[in-house]
Amino acid sequence: MSSLRNLKPENVFYYFGEICKIPRPSKKEGEIREWLLNKGKELGLATKQDAVGNVLISKPATPGREAVTPVIFQSHMDMVCEKNTDTQFDFSKDSIQTEIEGDWLTAKGTTLGADDGIGMAIALAILADKSIEHGPIECLFTVDEETGLTGAAAIEPGFMTGKILLNLDSEEWGEFCIGCAGGKDTIVFLDIEHENIPENSVAYKLILKGLKGGHSGCDIHLGRGNSIKLLNRVLWNAYQDFDVRVAHFDAGNLHNAIPREGYAVITVPQDFAKDFENYVQAMNLVFKEEFHTTDPEVELTLEPATMPGKIWEEFLQIDFMNAVYVCPHGVQAMSQDIPGFVESSTNLASVKIVDNKVIKIVTSQRSSVESKKQAVVDRVTATFSLIGAQIEHGDGYPGWTPNPKSKALALLKETYERLFNQVPEVKAIHAGLECGLFSTKYPDMDMVSYGPTLFGVHSPDEKMLIPTVQKCWDLTVEFLKSLK
């Protein structure tokens, strides 16, 4: 791990370094939760957790500021666990290996976890710093944000008492977020029937890698390649022309990440093998041309494989390929009110084989308009209903309605302009934030989201712009000092 000791602000990067040492996959936050509980007690601060594992640490006001409006700093414990296929790393036990590249902090072949480890680090530094002037403070650390926002959904009224909530989970310094899209997952299950492999067949492993992937909310409008879509496109045409048969398909990992890599194990009649190999080479060049700007490192390759025991039944293969081909992916509608803002989207996120018996397809829909979100969910549902698939839906989460008259926003803007002599941007985002769920339990809560600049979140390209962390810290400290 690259040393973070010389990075500023030292207190924030100290805590970020400690957080990087602790495994924290979604739904497996036990170790980081215990660390937070112990840290609160070490600091001599009131510390508690709720039934689902959310942690709240409270710090009393500095003398003379007891009447100041109480503030909640909110971040989430879990991180997206994505790595390159050639990286040996176990997210359940290994520490994130950070690297410094100029002004950027990144990790070796994995997600960095600055989403939202840096938010946690800023909150902890506020709790530990005795020099800051402030009113009453609460720091809320939620569980399972990345796979459903279930920690925020379970927050009970009265668990926190602050009147202003500052969500430290945004990714563009200089922007204040006051609204976000809602989301819902659609999960598809197809039973696998197998049949024997035709005689005189050869087996291959078809591999697609090198795509950038990214956050399925923040990056969905960038036109990046989807490994599921591209692999299926190759197979769909190869079935027509070369009688290619599928034995296995695996691509993508997380519902909120655009799939970057994937592979399929296939068989081809010996007589078509050479033509198929030439076709794959040609499609590799096609993809490089089609994605020369968004995904210049895309690579489609073919290698010999051990002959599988069985292949998918032919009608199943046809149904799967047709449904995946027509399944929507990407931006579905742009906002009619905010220029350049994605209103609705869907992410064809992963295809996994469960116990060699079931094909599990995960998709994720987002929209800032609740009725439009349901319409996209229904469209995905209709697509897979045509092939008789079993379909389930996640609970979903609401969007966060913007409040441009927010008093916290006004003070943050004034403070930002005074410190940096620039005008910040106020916006809503297409990604999901926990604020929408908080607003259902705390309807009068004044909420704003901000944070340092992050790039490539939800992918191994994730990195954080180091100088913006200092600016974020300075803004936070001055906001607390200025709040009445």
Q: What class does CATH assign to 10-181+399-482?
A: alpha beta
| Residue 431: per-residue pLDDT | 86
Residues 127/133, Cβ–Cβ less than 8 Å: no
Fold of domain 184-393: Alpha-Beta Plaits (3.30.70)
| Residue 2: per-residue pLDDT | 64
Q: What is the mean pLDDT, run by run of 10 residues, along the chain of 484 residues?
A: 85 97 97 98 97 98 97 98 92 96 96 97 98 97 93 96 97 95 96 97 98 94 97 98 98 94 98 98 98 98 97 98 98 89 96 97 95 97 98 92 92 98 94 92 96 94 97 98 95
| Residue 3: per-residue pLDDT | 75
Parse the chain into domains and list their residue ranges: 10-181+399-482, 184-393
Contacts of residue 131, defined as CB under 8 A and 6 or more positions apart, other chains included, come to: none
| Residue 22: per-residue pLDDT | 98
Residues 36/45, Cβ–Cβ less than 8 Å: no
- Cα separation values, 80 from 181, 345, 401, 458, Å: 19, 20, 26, 6
Burial class (CB in 10 A: 0-12, 13-18, 19+), 456: buried
- Give one DSSP letter per residue of 318-384, joined into a string: HHHHHHHHHS--EEEEE-SSSTT-EEEEEEEEEEEEETTTEEEEEEEEEESSHHHHHHHHHHHHHHH
Query: In 3D, which of 11, 4, 219 has the Cα closest to residue 104?
Result: 4
Tell me, yes or no, if the pTM score tops 0.85. no
Q: For residues 365 and 399, what is the distance between their CA atoms, to the nearest angstrom?
A: 12
User: Is 16 strand, coil or helix?
Assistant: helix
Burial of 388-400, coded b for 16+ CB within 10 Å and e otherwise, reads ebebeebebbbbb
Contacts of residue 10, defined as CB under 8 A and 6 or more positions apart, other chains included, come to: none
Query: Which residue out of 29, 78, 219, 343 is catalytically annotated?
Result: 78
The letter for the amino acid at 399 is G
DSSP-assigned beta bridge partners for residue 78: none
| Residue 1: per-residue pLDDT | 58
Confirm whether 195 is a catalytic residue: no
The letter for the amino acid at 293 is T
**H/E segment holding residue 164:** strand 164-167
Q: For residues 173 and 265, what is the distance between their CA atoms, to the nearest angstrom?
A: 44
The separation between the first and the last C-alpha atoms of the chain, rounded to the nearest angstrom, is 42
* Residue 130, token pair as written in the block: 């005795």
Q: For residues 9 and 476, what is the distance between their CA atoms, to the nearest angstrom?
A: 12
- Give one DSSP letter per residue of 265-278, joined into a string: EEEEEGGGHHHHHH
| Residue 5: per-residue pLDDT | 86
* Residue 339, token pair as written in the block: 């220029």
CB atoms within 10 A of CB 433: 27
| Residue 338: per-residue pLDDT | 79
Query: Which residue out of 29, 82, 144, 145 is catalytically annotated?
Result: 145
116 prior amide bond cis, ω within 30: yes
Q: For residues 215 and 183, what is the distance between their CA atoms, to the nearest angstrom?
A: 14
Confirm whether 78 is a catalytic residue: yes
